[in-house]
Structures are given as C-alpha cells and as structure tokens.
A and B are shown apart, each in its own frame.
Chain A
Amino acid sequence: MDRLYQLLQSRIEGQVLTPDEFHPAILTNFGNLFHGAPRLSVSPAGAADVIATIAFAREQGLTVSTRGAGHSQSRLAISDGGILLSMGSMRRVLSVDRAASTVDVEAGVVWRDLVRHLEPDRLVPPVLTNNLGVTVGGTLSIAGIGVASFRYGTQGDNVRELDVVTGTGELVTCDRKRNADLFWGALAGLGQVGVITRARLDLRKFKPMTRTYFLLYRDLPSFLDDAKRAMDGGRFDAIESWGSPCPQGLKPVAGRMQPFARWFYPVHLTVEFDPAHPPDDEEVLRGLHPFERLYVDDVPSVEFFERMIPVFDLWKRGGTWQHVHAWIEAVLPWERAADVVESVLPDLPPSILVGGHVLLWPAKGNSSQSRLFMRPPGEDLLGFGVLPAVPSRYWETARPMLENLGRLTEVMGGKRYLSGYLDWPEERWREHFGDQWTPFCALKRRYDPASILNPGFVVFPSSTAGSTPRPAPAAAAPARD
C-alpha cells in the first residue's frame, strides 16, 4: 500500500484510490492518445477536500490534475505519477435563485443533469454544449461552445461567480469585480490557475417547444451567405451546421486510392415557441436561399437540448467511442473560412468520419468577453471542426494530415479550440495566446507558483514554473481500437 494513501485519506472526507483500484478509463481521456497512471486518484467530497489535496500535493512534491468527464483529447484530465482529482464526485446542484435566474452548482455537475434539474422551472443555461455528458467545471475551463454561442458567447460568458481553489491551496470566491483576474483566468484557463469547485451560472427562461428547419446547401458560398443572414436576423435561437460527405468512390491521392466525397452543407435553424403561437415558417425563413428545405421538426425544448444523446449512444454502440479522437477544432476569420474549408474537405476521406463529423459553426466574435478563449478579430467568425474517430492502427497515417489541418487553421488566422488534439511547444502556446500570453503566465506564477496544477499541457516559460519538476509527458501511443 502506498504510504501516501493513508496520509491523504486521513485528511479528506472523499475517497482516495490507489492504482490497483483504478478504473482503466482514467488512464487516458476521450482522445485515447495520451496515457498516464496517477499515483493516487481522489474523489473529493467538497471544496475542503480539494484544498486538503492541493496542500498535500505541495507537501509531497506531487502534481494535481483535474478530471471532469475526461472529454479532452490532449494532455488534460490525465495524470502521470501525480494526483488525479476526479471532480465527478462533486455533482450537487446547490441552489436555484429563480428571481435572479441563477443556479449554484458544484463543478462536477454534468450539464445533462442540470438541464433535467431545471426543467420544471423552464430554466436553462443560455449555452449548452452538444455533448451534455461533460461537467460544468470541465467546459468552463475550456470555454464551452454550443449552438447558441452566436447569441450568448461561451458558457464562461454566462458565469456570475466562481469558487476556485488556487495552486497555493486557497479557496477564493471571484467574479467580474472581486478577484477578477482569477475569475477570467479560471474561465478558459485550462485549469492552470486553480480548480473550480463551484459556479454560479446565469439561466434564461425557455419556451416549451422548438421548431427546427433542416436546410441543405450544395455549395459553401451560399451556405456562408445564409449563415450570416441567420445570425444577423436575431430570429433563431440555435444554429447548427456541418459539412456532410456524399461518397463518390475512390480516387488516387499521392498514388494511393482513397475514398473521396462531394460535400454538402446541412444547416439546422431552430426557434423556440409557445404552442399557442407557432412560428410563421415563411416569415422565419425569409431571405434564406437553401438548395432544399428538407424537413421541419417540432420537439419539446428539453428534447432539443438533449438531441445529441442518441447520436453519442450510437457511436458508443458502434464502437467508435473507443477509437482515437484527434479532433481539430478552430475558430476562423470569416473572410478566410471558405479558403480553409475548401482546401481541406476535397481530400478528407469520408471514412474517418464514421463516428465523427465535420462541424461548421457560424459565430459572433463580439458575443464573448472571455479573455483566454482566443478567437480571431472580427465580428463574424466560423467555427470549423474536423472530428474524426480513427482506429488506432490508422492513427500514424491520419496524424500528418490532421496536424497539417491544425497548423493550416492557425496560418490562416484562426485560433484553435483547446479541448481537441494538440501537442504544442512553448512558442505555439505563445502564438496562440498572443497578447494574453504574458498576463496568463503572470496568473500562473501568482496562483500556482509551484506549477503543480494540470502539468504537461500548456508549456509555460521555464521562469514561470516553480521548483516542482514537470512530469514526463505520456507517450502518444493509442492503446487500442
């Protein structure tokens, strides 16, 4: 028995696990690319346990990595030789303030559970991620983007207040005025300045029903034109769109026969409504010019919020959930978006999108105030995500293409969304954060001076790190299909 186990277990109310008790899933994350075995795993019962764990880690010279649902794909939510804080144990919805339209939750609350909890009051967080099986603390640490982000920004933009345990073990309540630097450093801060233990989230009233218009576009320019009209009109509550391949057979690519596709662009435009006042379809769609109107779907709003659950279940049943997920997601400047998308899709084998897809998300740059959620300048932006599920035996074949795609988005002026696959040296981090890099490094020095929180992902300059050695990175070797 690890001598540290009893020491730590005696100090906390939650559960401490040793390697012989680990579930194999905690040795990697959704990406299935990076692997690491923590020395101990802690399921905290509350903020006091997080404080005690961080204090313990500092005493023992260990690192602390946080894990929500483990949906990240790079060196996040895994630990190699340190303590893994499994935040899923802190999953209480603490209180709902109906008058103020806010809810207080522990960081390990899963969004799906929160949606169900709030349903009787017809309240919902303004922005929901597509995958509702992830945690509040997890997505706030990345940014949190959804089909309503073009209106409401990131999930982090809809936070009133946070409790954060810093890397020095101090519990700090922060908001836009109190300890504002920590507040903005925790939101989209990749867990580098503290562990979010509680969040007070904004809520909005939703109408009981949604109507979704399934539109199809056959070329990118007409899709982009209408996407902009849809965002600007103020008439839609959600906009969701993709690139959808229609396989055409095989063609030679660099001498090897490879499947290729003609790409189409489905768009789902959604409005909420009261059944007594259904939307006027012609009025709602006025000015839009799709190739085809395919379908109109009326569902209860909560069913709409949860619409992706059956899709993810299908991927799980189909086995692709276990594949390598090296998602390349980026926010592109509008004027470069077509160049990027049209240079990528023609040679993208549609087969790698079994259990994945290509996302195209129109967005508004001015909808977010987040400091660390980096996006290009400009009012109109396009989120572009190639979200493949790659059998591990094909990973090395797919890797150069996906890495080039990531780099291409950056060269074209885009900014990467950081829950996906990336493995950057320090200069790429500096490039990504731009003028926020120096403030981010300063926050790291101030709130995590020993550099114990979530090591191995963000590469800070050596002057930022404290005395704790950075653990060796886990090998990028997929374990299984």
Chain B
Amino acid sequence: MALEFGTPEWAQALVQAINASSEYRNSGSAWGVGFNGNVLFAFEAGGALTKPLYLLLRLQGGRSSGAEFVPGPSHPDAGFTLRAPYPLWREILGGKTLAATAILMGRMKVEGNTVALLKYAGAHRSLVHCVSSLDTRYP
C-alpha cells in the first residue's frame, strides 16, 4: 500500500530501503565517515505542496540510522542542507533531473561543503533511487 509522503511511516520505510540497498551501501560507504553526513532535505512549498517539509536523514558509512520529518528549516544535527522547491524535488525523485545537475546549475541550494557533496554524487544518486523505489502517495 502506498505510504503518504511526509509521514513518520514514510520516513521509516525510507530508512529500511536505504539499509536494504547494496547500491547505497557501496556508493555511500565513505559518506559521513570522518564528517557529519546527516542531511536535511528542505522541500520548499510549491506546486502541490502547500507547506514546506523538512526531512532529516541520518547517514554514515553506507547506512542510515534514522529519518524524521522535523519542524524547522534547520537542525543542529544536520551536516548538510539541500533546499529546493517541491516541484524540483519531484523532478529529481522522478528521475527527470539529476540532483547533481540541480546543484551545479544553482537550482538547488546547498548548505555545507559543496565539494564534499559533489564528490559523493554517486551516493546521492543511490539515495534518490531508494526514495523513488518507495510506493509513495505524493501531494
């Protein structure tokens, strides 16, 4: 059954999908090792999303130790924040736009070390695949 985007159940399912993914385990094996790899995804209101959503994903060494939707646009545990309007996120999650393209072209805002983020573009692509593999009911 499809899970509703933005709910704790969806966040938990994402953690399970990441930890079940050999693709992410390999490509993200160095992500978060020696630095804070937790990422705050900021889905800014736009399109069908009337209120912004913020997902904190805890990542280290190719695994996720948890995910939660948090109330604010920043979080002390986040090492990186990625901000984009919701319609752009849908393009990325639908495979129509690469996250790296959005970052490189300035469509997605990055808080944190952009060089480190781009260096692990393969890991982030795997994450996107994990998200898109979930049966999700999007706004």
Chain A residues packing against B (C-beta within 8 Å)? 251-255, 336, 339, 342-343, 346-347, 400-401, 403-404, 407-408, 411-412
> Which of A253, A342, A343, A408 meets B23, CB within 8 Å?
A253
What is the chain A residue whose CB lies nearest that of B126? A254
CA distance A253 to B133 in the complex (A): 13
- The 8 nearest A-B residue pairs measured at CB: A407-B104, A252-B23, A343-B119, A255-B129, A347-B122, A254-B129, A254-B125, A404-B100
Would you give the shortest CB distance from B32 to chain A, in whole angstroms?
Answer: 16
CA distance A336 to B115 in the complex (A): 9
Using a CB-CB cutoff of 8 Å, which residues 33-83 of chain B contact chain A? none
**B-chain residues with CB within 8 Å of residue A400 when the two chains form the complex:** 98, 101
**B-chain residues with CB within 8 Å of residue A339 when the two chains form the complex:** 115, 118-119
CA distance A346 to B119 in the complex (A): 10
Whether B121 contacts A255 by the Cβ 8 Å rule is: no
Is chain A's binding surface mostly helix, strand, loop or mixed? helix
What is the chain B residue whose CB lies nearest that of A401? B98
CA distance A252 to B132 in the complex (A): 14
Chain B residues packing against A (C-beta within 8 Å)? 22-23, 26-27, 95, 98, 100-101, 104-105, 114-115, 118-122, 125-126, 128-129, 132-133
Whether A251 contacts B98 by the Cβ 8 Å rule is: no
What is the chain A residue whose CB lies nearest that of B127? A254
**A-chain residues with CB within 8 Å of residue B121 when the two chains form the complex:** 343, 347, 404
Known: A254-B128, A404-B101, A411-B104. 10 other contacts (CB 8 A): A252-B129, A254-B126, A255-B23, A255-B129, A339-B118, A342-B119, A343-B119, A343-B122, A400-B101, A404-B98
CA distance A412 to B103 in the complex (A): 13
**A-chain residues with CB within 8 Å of residue B100 when the two chains form the complex:** 404, 408
Whether A404 contacts B119 by the Cβ 8 Å rule is: no
**B-chain residues with CB within 8 Å of residue A346 when the two chains form the complex:** 27, 122
Whether B101 contacts A251 by the Cβ 8 Å rule is: no
CA distance A342 to B129 in the complex (A): 22
CA distance A347 to B124 in the complex (A): 12
Identify 29 residue pairs between A and B in the complex whose beta-carbon atoms are under 8 Å apart, listed by A's number: A251-B26, A252-B22, A252-B23, A252-B126, A253-B23, A253-B27, A254-B95, A254-B126, A254-B128, A254-B129, A255-B129, A255-B132, A336-B115, A339-B119, A342-B119, A343-B118, A343-B121, A343-B122, A346-B27, A347-B121, A401-B98, A403-B101, A404-B101, A407-B105, A408-B104, A411-B104, A411-B114, A411-B118, A412-B118
Would you give the shortest CB distance from B35 to chain A, in whole angstroms?
Answer: 14
| Given known A-B contacts A404-B101, A404-B104, A253 and B125 have beta carbons under 8 A apart | yes
Whether A343 contacts B120 by the Cβ 8 Å rule is: yes
CA distance A339 to B95 in the complex (A): 25
Would you give the shortest CB distance from B133 to chain A, in whole angstroms?
Answer: 7
CA distance A258 to B105 in the complex (A): 26
| Given known A-B contacts A403-B101, A404-B101, A408-B104, A255 and B133 have beta carbons under 8 A apart | yes
CA distance A255 to B95 in the complex (A): 11
What is the chain B residue whose CB lies nearest that of A347? B122
Whether B122 contacts A253 by the Cβ 8 Å rule is: yes
Would you give the shortest CB distance from B97 to chain A, in whole angstroms?
Answer: 8
**A-chain residues with CB within 8 Å of residue B122 when the two chains form the complex:** 253, 343, 346-347
CA distance A74 to B132 in the complex (A): 35
Would you give the shortest CB distance from A149 to chain B, in whole angstroms?
Answer: 27
Would you give the shortest CB distance from B73 to chain A, in whole angstroms?
Answer: 24
CA distance A400 to B95 in the complex (A): 12
